[in-house]
Structure 1
Amino acid sequence: MFRHAQLESVKAWIGDPAHAALPLHARIQRAIRQLILDGAINVGRPLPASRALARSLAVSRDTVEAAYGQLHAEGFIERRVGSGSFVSERVRQRRAGARRTPAYATPSPGLSRRGAMLFHNGGVRDFLAPRAFAPGLPETRHFPLQTWERLQRQVLKEHGTRALLHSPPQGVETLRSAIADYVNLERGARATADRVLVLTSSQQALALCAHVLLDAGDRVLIEDPAYHGARRAFDAAGLECVPIPVDADGMCVQRLHDAAPDARAVFLTPSHQFPTGATLALDRRLAVIEWAHRHDAWIIEDDYDSEFHYAGKPTACVQGLDPHERTIYVGTFTKSLFPGLRIGYMVLPPALVEPMTVARTLLDGHSAPVPQLTLARFIEGGHFGAHVRAMRTLYGERRDLLARLVHQHLGHHLQPRVPAGGMQMPCILTCGLSEARAVHAARHAGIDLLGLGGLHAASASEAGFLMGFAAHAPDELEAAVRGLAGVLRALQR
C-alpha cells in the first residue's frame, strides 16, 4: 500500500486545477508515474491493489484499472497474475540515464543567443480568463455581440469569398480611414489613412519599433516603473533600457538630457502611465518632443487605454503636438472592445510607413480581413463610441466600488491609489508582507495580482499590486476582495 505521503501526493496531483482538463484515470496514471520517476516508489515495489487504491481516492475501481493499464503499456509497471502490480525493472535504466545528466544542465533545443534570451526573458503572460483581479481585461459580457454579428454578416454578404483572401499588409483601407478619423477626433492626433498600419496588437507594434528603428546595443529611455511588455520587447531586440523616474506628472523628462545623451528613442505611456496612472504634464510633453527633435530620436507613444478617463476628457496625445514627425502612436482595440479581436495599430510618420509595412510582412503578413471590415463598420456606425461611453460609466462605478471595498476589508493591508482613468488600480502593501509571497498565495486562491515591484528597474519601489476591476461585476469584486483579505490574513499568521 502507498505510504501516507505518497497517497497525499497522488491526491494533490488529481486535485490540481492545472490538470483539470485530463480524464480522471489519466491524472491518476500521471501522478503515479511521477512518483516512480522521482524514485518515491522503488523498482520492484508493489503498487496498491486497484480496489484498495480506488477506495482511498474515492473513485471507481475501473478508473484505477485504466490508470494501471496505461502504466503497464508504457513500461512503468509489471502486472503479475495473482500477485498484483510492481514497478518495472525498466525504470532503473531510465533513472540511470537521468543521473548521467548533470543536475544543472537544462535540456537545450539548440537555441541561438537571441532565442535563449527570448526564452529566459519569460515573454508576456496574458491573463487568459477574467479571474479577479487580472489587470487590463475589459468587461466582455456587455459587448453588443448581436450588433457585431449583424455587421459581420453584412461584410460576408457584400464581399463574399473575397473576404477569405489575404488583406493588404498595411490593413484594409476602410478600417485605416476609420481609425484615422477616430484618433483625430478623440485623441487630437494628426493622422490619415495612409499613415495607419493595422497590426494584431500593441505588443507587435513595440516589437516592430524595436527592430526597425533601433540596432542591438542602442539605448532606449523608458519610464520607471514601466509596462513590462515594452521592456521585454526592447530587451529581446538587444536594446539597453535606461530607466527614467516617474512622479505625479509622469516621466521626469528633465532627466532625459543627462541619462543617456546618445539614446535613440524614448518610450512613453503619457495619457495614463502604466502602472502609476499619472498623466504626463503638457510642459513635459512639449519638452520630450523638443528633445526628440534635437537628438534625431523617436518617441514611441503607447496609448493603451485612454478611452477610459473618468474626470473630463483625456489630454491630447503627444503625436498630435509633434510638428517634427518623430512620434509613433500605438493603439489597440484589445482593451476598448475585447481581447479576442486581435487588432492594434500604429499611426506613423510618413517616412516610416513603407519600412514598417515591409517589416510586418516578415512577421505575420497581414491581419484577418473579416474582423477588420467588421470593425470598420462598427466604428463608422457609431457603435464603438456608444460602447466606449457605456463602459466608461460602468468602469468608473467599479473603480469607485473597488476603492471602497479595499478600504473596508483590506485597510490593514493595502492603501489604494484611485486612478483618474484606466482599468486597474495600484494598491500599496502597508503591512510588511512580501509582495512575491502574496502574489503567489493569491494565485493559488484563484486571484490574479500583478506585483508592482517587478515593474521597477532602478527607482525605489513600493511593494503592492495592480488590481484590475473592469471585468468584474460588483458581487464578484466583493467576493474577490474578501478572498484576498483571507489570503493576506493567513500570510500574517
Structure 2
Amino acid sequence: MFRHTQLETVKAWLIHPDYAGLPLHSRIQRAIRQLILDGALAAGKPLPATRGLAASLSVSRDTVENAYGQLHAEGFVIRRVGSGSFVAPINDLLPVAPRTRPPSRETDAIRAGLSARGAAMVVHGGTHSGGPVRLFQQGLPETRNFPIRIWERLERQVLKEHGTAALVMTDPQGARPLRQAIADYVNLERGARATADRVLILTSSQQAMALTANLLLDPGERIFVEDPGYHGARQAFAAAGAVPVPVPLDREGLIVRQMFDRADKARVVSLTPSHQFPTGATLSLERRLALIDWAARRGGWIIEDDYDSEFHYAGRPTACVQGLDPHDRTIYIGTFTKSLFPGLRIGYLILPPDLVAPFTIARTQQDGHPASIAQLVLARFIQGGHFGAHIRLMRNIYAERMRILARLIEKDLAGLVEARVPSGGLQMPCLLTCDLAEARVVNAAARAGLGLTGLTALHATARPQPGFLMGFAAFTPTELESGVHILARVLHDLKTAAHPD
C-alpha cells in the first residue's frame, strides 16, 4: 500500500489544472511513473491493489486497471497473476563496452563544380526518387481512405473565417492553433512534455534532421546513429559535415552501453526508439533511462525520431523518451507524412526551451515560414477529433493488411522468403532464405514493377542476412496478393537462371 505522501502525490496529479486535458487513467499512470523515476517507489515494491487504490482515489477500478496496464506495457511494473503488481527493477547500465575504433569517413571525389559539402549531400543519392508508386514501396500510407470531404469542408471554414489574412506570411515558428493542437496530441498519446511554445512547424522530418544537424554539430564532429538505421538521417548528418558513428542493435533496440566510454566521445545520438527502422525493435525502458542520464552527464543531445508510432498493432506504444527526460536534452521529431498523407508536407520539432529561438531563426534561412492555410486546416482536423478517428481506422486497416501479407508470404514464398512480422509500422522486414543475392532480387523486382528496399544499404558496418522491406500499408489485399505472385515469379525465374539444370 502507498504511504500517505505517495497517495497524496497521485491525488495531486488528478486535480492539477496542467493535467486537466488527460484522461484519469493517464494522470494516475504518470503520477506513479514519476514516483518510480524519483526513487520514491523502489524496485520490487508492491503497488496497491486496483480495488483499494480506486477507492482511495474515488475513481473506478477500470481506471486504475488501465493505468497499471500502461505502466506494465512501458516496463515500469511487473504484473503477476494472483500476486499483484510490483515496481520493475530499473538498473543503471554500466559503461562496459570495449573501446573500438570509429569507422573512417568515406572520402569520395568532389564532383565537378560542387563543394565538399555539396558532394556529401549527393554522393549517396536522395532519400526518395519520386515518380509513380510501386507495389511494396515502404513508408507509404494509404491515401484512398483519407476523409477528403471533411478536409475540404475545414478548408472552406478557414478561408471564410480568415479571408485574405490566410494568404499572407505566417509566424516562422508555425501557426499557434496548430502548435497547440500538436502539443495536446503528443502529451496525451505519446506521453510527451510539450507546450505550444516549444513546437516548431517544419515541412518534414528530413528538414528537422538537417536543421538539427547544422545547429548542433560542427563539421568533423561525431554523432551516434543506429546500425542498421534510416539512411536519410545518416545523409542529413553527413551533409552537415558530421561523422555518423554506427552503434549496433539487438532485440531491445540500440545497445547504448557501446556508446559509453568510447574513444570518439560523441555528444549527440539519433535514434528511432519507439519503432526502430528497419528492425521494428522497441528501445527498452532501462536503455531509455540510461540514454537520458548519459545526455545529462555528457551535456549531449538525444534526437528522437518518432516517425510512425501511431501505428502500433500489439498492445499500446511506449511513452516517448522526451516525456521521460527531466533535463530537457531530447529533441523530438514528428511528422504527418505517414499518419495522414505525403503531400501535406508538415512535420514538427518539440524543442528544449533554450533551443526554440535559435531553431526558429535558422529555419527562416531555409524557407521563411510554413504554408499558412494547410496549418490552419490541420489544426481544425486535429482539434475536431478527425485525426484521432482517421488514425484508429487506418490502424485497423494496416494491421489486417500486415496479417494478409504475412499469410501470402508463408503460402506463396515458402522456402524463398521469411517474413519478420513487426509490432507496428508500415513495412515488413523479410529475409531471403534461398541462395539468391539481395541486389539481384531487388533489381529484378524493380524491373517487374515492385518497390522492394534492400536491407544491406541500411547497415553501415555489419553484413546482414540478405533481405528487403515490403511496404504493406498503401496497398489493398488484392494488390498485395498480385504483388506476391509477381515476386514469386521473379524469384523462381532467378533460381532457374542460377541453376538451369
TM exceeding 0.5: yes
Aligned to 1:182: 185
Q: Are the aligned partners of 2:272 and 2:305 in contact in 1 as well (CA < 8 Å)?
A: yes
Q: Paired residue for 1:199, among 194, 199, 202? A: 202
Aligned to 2:98: none
Aligned to 1:129: 132
Aligned to 1:12: none
Q: Are the aligned partners of 2:223 and 2:267 in contact in 1 as well (CA < 8 Å)?
A: yes
Q: Are the aligned partners of 2:219 and 2:240 in contact in 1 as well (CA < 8 Å)?
A: yes
TM-score if structure 1 supplies the norm length?
Answer: 0.77
Q: Paired residue for 1:343, among 340, 343, 346? A: 346
Residue 109 (structure 1) shift: 5.5
Alignment of 1:32-431 (within 5 A): 110-126=113-129, 128-260=131-263, 262-431=265-434
More displaced stretch, 428-437 vs 328-337: 428-437
Q: Distance in 2 between matches of 1:366 and 1:386?
A: 29
Whether 1:453 and 2:487 are equivalent positions in the alignment is no
Q: Distance in 1 between matches of 2:241 and 2:266?
A: 14
Q: Distance in 2 between matches of 1:207 and 1:274?
A: 18
4+ long deviations beyond 4 Å? 106-109
More displaced stretch, 452-461 vs 112-121: 112-121
Q: Give 1 or 2 for the bigger CA radius of gyration.
A: 1
Amino acid in structure 1 at the alignment position of 2:358: P
User: Secondary structure, in 3 states, of the residue corresponding to 1:243?
Assistant: strand
User: Secondary structure, in 3 states, of the residue corresponding to 1:235?
Assistant: helix
Deviations 1:266-325 (A, max 9, x none): 011000000000000000000011111111110000000000001121000000000110
Amino acid in structure 2 at the alignment position of 1:340: G
Q: Are the aligned partners of 1:219 and 1:260 in contact in 2 as well (CA < 8 Å)?
A: no
Q: Are the aligned partners of 1:131 and 1:448 in contact in 2 as well (CA < 8 Å)?
A: yes
User: Secondary structure, in 3 states, of the residue corresponding to 2:307?
Assistant: coil
Aligned to 1:61: none
Q: Are the aligned partners of 2:110 and 2:119 in contact in 1 as well (CA < 8 Å)?
A: no
Q: Are the aligned partners of 1:327 and 1:349 in contact in 2 as well (CA < 8 Å)?
A: yes
Amino acid in structure 2 at the alignment position of 1:183: V
Whether 1:482 and 2:485 are equivalent positions in the alignment is yes
Residue 150 (structure 1) shift: 0.2
Task: State the percentage of identical aligned residues.
Answer: 64
Deviations 1:93-129 (A, max 9, x none): xxxxxxxxxxxxx996621121122122212125543
Q: Distance in 1 between matches of 2:314 and 2:332?
A: 23
User: Secondary structure, in 3 states, of the residue corresponding to 2:406?
Assistant: helix
User: Secondary structure, in 3 states, of the residue corresponding to 1:422?
Assistant: coil
* Number of residue pairs the alignment of both structures matches: 388
Whether 1:463 and 2:444 are equivalent positions in the alignment is no
Q: Distance in 2 between matches of 1:126 and 1:201?
A: 16
Q: Distance in 1 between matches of 2:112 and 2:431?
A: 41
CA RMSD in angstroms, aligned pairs only: 1.3
Aligned to 2:36: none
Q: Distance in 1 between matches of 2:493 and 2:110?
A: 38
User: Secondary structure, in 3 states, of the residue corresponding to 1:306?
Assistant: coil
More displaced stretch, 410-419 vs 271-280: 410-419
